[in-house]
A and B are shown apart, each in its own frame.
Chain A
Amino acid sequence: MKKTLVSILLSLVGIVLVLGLWSAISAKIAPDLPSPSKTWEDSALYVTKPWEKRGEMDQGIGLMTAYSLLRVAKGFALALLIGTPLGFLLGSSPLFFRMFDPTIQILRPISPLAWLPLGLILFRQSEPAALFTIALCSMWPTVVNTMQGVRAIPQDYHNVAKVLRLSPWRKFTKIMLPATLPFMFSGYRLSLGIAWLVIVAAEMLTGTPGVGGFLWQEYNSLIYSHILLCILTIGIVGFFLDRLMGFAEARLRAV
């Protein structure tokens, strides 16, 4: 109890120090950088009325975040739907692995900024292009972790399945899936982190409403305070998403 209190206090001290540094930089070094208080003044309307829609790109931060989250959820779901079975295939079939692993290693490090134009060409619309980019960038940790999970299944369990003559489906549901689940969720957690990183890039380039789109528009409108508002929002939302997945992961590991 006392320990948590101390860590909460310490993290507050840390936040105050960073705010102080931020104020100092904006006052002494970079006059274009809005100070914390200026940021709050300019952003108060967006934060205190988070669900107000005043125009297409002029909406409360709650609504903007919701748009982005919805987009991330769709892209992430797509990533899991493709990534999980792909991971299972790569993990269970050495042939499949040897066939596709080199390709995957090449596709993995490609930036969302590179995928997005391709998505726009393919789909001719910004929304599906954004989802395509999110899915393609964020699915790799899911693929790799699921694959490693399948590989890590002890030989003993495979032997149990053989001795008991489990059908492929029963082996999958009784052994493969439960054995791989913790690995899958580690992958999901990393994938969600990437999906959230990618959303900003995708919205900036497509100009769709959302935290990323708003950030880019306010940069073009020279309202720098709002850029900071968006950055803080992205950070806080990302933090909570990770915590949420971490919580789900811990529950699975406990089993």
Chain B
Amino acid sequence: MSNNRPLEISSLSKSFETPTGPITVVKDFNVRVQPGEFVALLGHSGCGKSTVLSIVAGLQSATLGGIVVDGIEVTEPGLERAFVFQSPSLLPWLSAIENVFLSASQAKPKLPAAQQKELATKYLNLVGVGEYANELPTALSQGTQQRVAIARALAQEPRFLLLDEPFGMLDSLTRFELQDLVLDLWEKDRKTVIMVTHDIDEALYLCDRIILMTDGPEATVGLDLKVPIPRPRHRHQATSHPEYQRLRDRIIGFLESHSKQFQPEKEAA
């Protein structure tokens, strides 16, 4: 299962056709993500970070360049890359367990249904919502729904976890709980994680490395920062670490210096 080759985002460019001509959202974007690394893509809203992530997921295609996994270029979604959307995106006509089961059965099609069901139960329990297994998503809180969505992603038993502002729609207490959950889960098996966020504290608390993106159009890697805070991390220990404040100031400085070129905020694509 383990593989020591990095996931490469290589010379990635993405253009969209608009009535006034093509717009290049991301240009010449290069990042190598090491196995087991927890990486954040951080930048202003609309800078194209979600676009990069959805190209990594295979949901959109690159205009130039591409994504290399295990030395092979990937252009389509694959079960080894699981995706957690900003909104939970659970299928509302399926119960929590059925949503997770759908993913388990896709990832392990040869397993008997009973074992696929066990797998689904396992991951639902792992994210702490086993008691809601038979509830429909509409009966669950946003935080619980997002936990189910994380269980659905984990049930794929992926090597790469792609998180697209996964806590963006949650209130701050729930967001803290889910950040701790993701951190705990990551400590267990150290999957490769790429997370898009615009929350600086979230990135510092969770990640090994923060990629700051310059503002679009033609966004690219602006800064590539290591977060040398020791693991396992705890919120208080992490925030009081001297590096935390230093990095935070540096990131804010970067974002401020780049927001001048940026016109009124557009919502992320």
The answer, among B82, B87, B106, for a CB contact under 8 Å with A156, is B87
With a CB–CB cut-off of 8 A, which chain B residues contact A154?
89
**Residues B57 and A163 in contact, CB atoms below 8 Å apart:** yes
Q: Is the CB of B77 within 8 A of A165?
A: yes
Contact A165 B91 (CB under 8 A): no
A145-195 interface with B by 8 A CB criterion? 154, 156-157, 159-160, 162-166, 174-175, 178-179
A1 within 8 Å of B by Cβ? no
A255 within 8 A of B: yes
B206-225 Cβ-contact flags toward A at 8 Å (1 or 0): 00000000000000000000
Residue pair B59, A162 in contact (C-beta under 8 Å): yes
Residue of A nearest to B98 (CB): A174
- Mark out the residues of chain B between 85 and 104 whose CB falls within 8 Å of any chain A CB in the assembled complex: 85, 87, 89, 91, 93-94, 102-103
Beta-carbon contact of A156 and B58 below 8 Å: no
Q: Are B83 and A178 in contact (CB under 8 A)?
A: no
**Would A159 and B83 count as touching, CB distance under 8 A?**
yes
B residues within 8 A CB of A179? 93
Q: Give residues of chain B (148-181) contacting chain A, Cβ–Cβ below 8 Å.
A: 156
Question: Does B229 have its Cβ within 8 Å of any Cβ on chain A?
Answer: no
Contact with B along A118-132 (1 / 0, CB 8 A): 000000000000000
Interface size class, chain A: 10 to 19
Q: How large is the interface on B (under 10, 10 to 19, 20 to 34, 35 or more residues)?
A: 10 to 19
A159 & B58 in contact (Cβ 8 Å cutoff): no
From B78, B82, B89, B94, residue with most partner A Cβ within 10 Å: B89
- In the complex, whether B183 has a CB less than 8 A from a CB of chain A is no
CB-based contact B91/A159 at 8 Å: no
Is B79 in contact with chain A by the CB < 8 A criterion? yes
Cβ-defined contact, B156 with A160, below 8 A: no
Find out whether the CB atom of B93 lies under 8 angstroms from the CB atom of A178. Answer: yes
Shortest CB–CB separation between residue A45 and chain B, in angstroms?
51
- Give the complex CA separation of A157 and B149 in angstroms: 12
Q: Which residue of B87, B93, B94, B156 contacts A164 across the interface (Cβ within 8 Å)?
A: B156
Is A162 in contact with B91, judged by CB distance below 8 angstroms? no
Nearest-Cβ distance from residue A159 to partner chain B, whole angstroms: 6
Contact A156 B89 (CB under 8 A): yes
Nearest Cβ on chain B to A58's Cβ, whole angstroms: 51
Q: How far is the CA of A156 from the CA of B50 in the complex (A)?
A: 14
Chain B interface, DSSP helix/strand/loop, else mixed? loop
Closest Cβ of chain A to B85, distance in Å, is 6
Please pick, from B57, B78, B93, B102, the residue contacting A255 in the complex, using a CB distance under 8 A.
B93
Secondary structure dominating the interface of A? helix
Most chain B Cβ neighbours within 10 Å, of A157, A163, A166, A255: A163
Within A199-220, the residues touching B (CB, 8 Å) are none
CA distance A166 to B78 in the complex (A): 11
The closest CB in chain A to the CB of B164 belongs to A159
Residues of A within 8 A of B102 (CB): 164, 166, 174
The answer to whether A159 and B89 have CB atoms under 8 Å apart is yes
A174 to B102, CA, bound (A): 9
Type the 1/0 row for A126-145, where 1 means its CB is closer than 8 Å to any CB of B: 00000000000000000000
A154-B106 Cα distance, complex, nearest whole Å: 21
CB within 8 Å for A163 and B77 given contacts A156-B85, A174-B102: yes
Bound complex: CA A33 to CA B9 (Å): 83
Please give, as numbers and ranges, the residues of chain A lying within 8 Å of B91 by CB-CB distance: 157, 160, 174-175, 178
Contact A164 B85, beta carbon cutoff 8 Å: no
Interface digits, B45-88 against A, CB 8 Å rule (1 contact, 0 not)?
00000000000011100000000000000000111011101010
Contact with B78, one of A156, A159, A165 (Cβ below 8 angstroms):
A165
Q: Which residue of B lies closest to A163 (CB)?
A: B83
Partner of A163, one of B82, B87, B94: B82
Residues on A with beta carbons closer than 8 Å to the beta carbon of B85:
156, 159-160
Q: CB distance A160 to B106 under 8 Å?
A: no
Cβ of A164 and Cβ of B79 under 8 Å apart?
A: yes
Q: For the complex, what is the distance from the CA of A160 to the CA of B77, rounded to whole Å?
A: 10
A166 to B101, CA, bound (A): 13
Point out the residues of chain B lying under 8 angstroms from A163, CB to CB: 57, 59, 77, 81-83
Q: Contact flags (1/0) for B237-266 with A, using CB distance below 8 Å? A: 000000000000000000000000000000
Given A164-B156, A175-B91, 18 additional A-B pairs, CB 8 A: A156-B85, A156-B87, A157-B91, A159-B59, A159-B83, A160-B85, A160-B89, A163-B57, A163-B59, A163-B77, A164-B79, A164-B103, A165-B77, A165-B78, A166-B102, A174-B91, A174-B94, A255-B93
| Interface pairs A-B: 7 shortest CB-CB | A156-B89, A178-B93, A163-B83, A164-B106, A162-B77, A163-B77, A160-B89
17 example contacts (A-B, Cβ-Cβ < 8 A) are as follows: A156-B87, A157-B91, A159-B83, A160-B85, A160-B89, A160-B91, A164-B103, A164-B106, A164-B156, A165-B77, A165-B79, A166-B106, A174-B94, A174-B102, A178-B91, A178-B93, A255-B93
